[in-house]
Amino acid sequence: MSLSLAISILILISTTTLSSPSHASIETTCMAVANSSPNVNYDFCLTSLQADPQSRHADTKGLAVISTNLSSVNATATKAKIPKLVAKVKDQDTKEILKTCLSVYKDLLDNLKESLSAIQSESYSDAITYLSAALAQPETCEDSFSERSVESLLAKEDKDVGGLTEIALAITSSLK
């Protein structure tokens, strides 16, 4: 191979590399946040982010937005499920717990909405504050069940929303 051909190839490769949009690998990002936060499960992070096709080409900020949106979608579905459970259960204690959880999920969704705005405007400290508040809320719902010794009707949902919010918080924290 001639020297000029080798130089041309190197220039082409470096130009292509420099001009391609920066994106974060889902695997690398999930590994980093799982290593930095003991509450982030690598496999859950990976499968959750892979569920959104846009995550394949997203940068770290984009992954923070995507993970926050995933948490919001799951929280919205959980909030919609709660009135149906209230109508179905007979036990008054369980009804009251579910009503508490409904209120908690309304607050959780408000916090996720605020955190999303903060991420998009690159106000990462504010986003972390809102995500931290949102992260505590599924646990508050679970605590409402355990305090009255009632089996949780939202254990899986609370765990999933909490896990997704933990991922969003860890990714957003890495941006700061």
- Grouping H, G, I as helix, E, B as strand and the rest as coil, residue 91 is coil
Q: Are 175 and 60 within 8 A, CB to CB?
A: yes
CA distance 77 to 73: 6
Q: What are the structure tokens assigned to 117, written together?
A: 């705005």
Whether the full predicted model's pTM is greater than 0.75, yes or no, is yes
Give the total residue count for the chain. Answer: 176
* pLDDT averaged over every residue in the chain: 90
All structural domains of the chain with their residue ranges: 24-175
Top-tier CATH class for 24-175: mainly alpha
Q: Is the pLDDT of residue 13 over 60?
A: no
Give per-residue pLDDT as tens, 82-105: 999 999 999 999 999 999 999 999
Dihedral, CA of residue 87, residue 89, residue 90 and residue 95, to nearest 10: -80
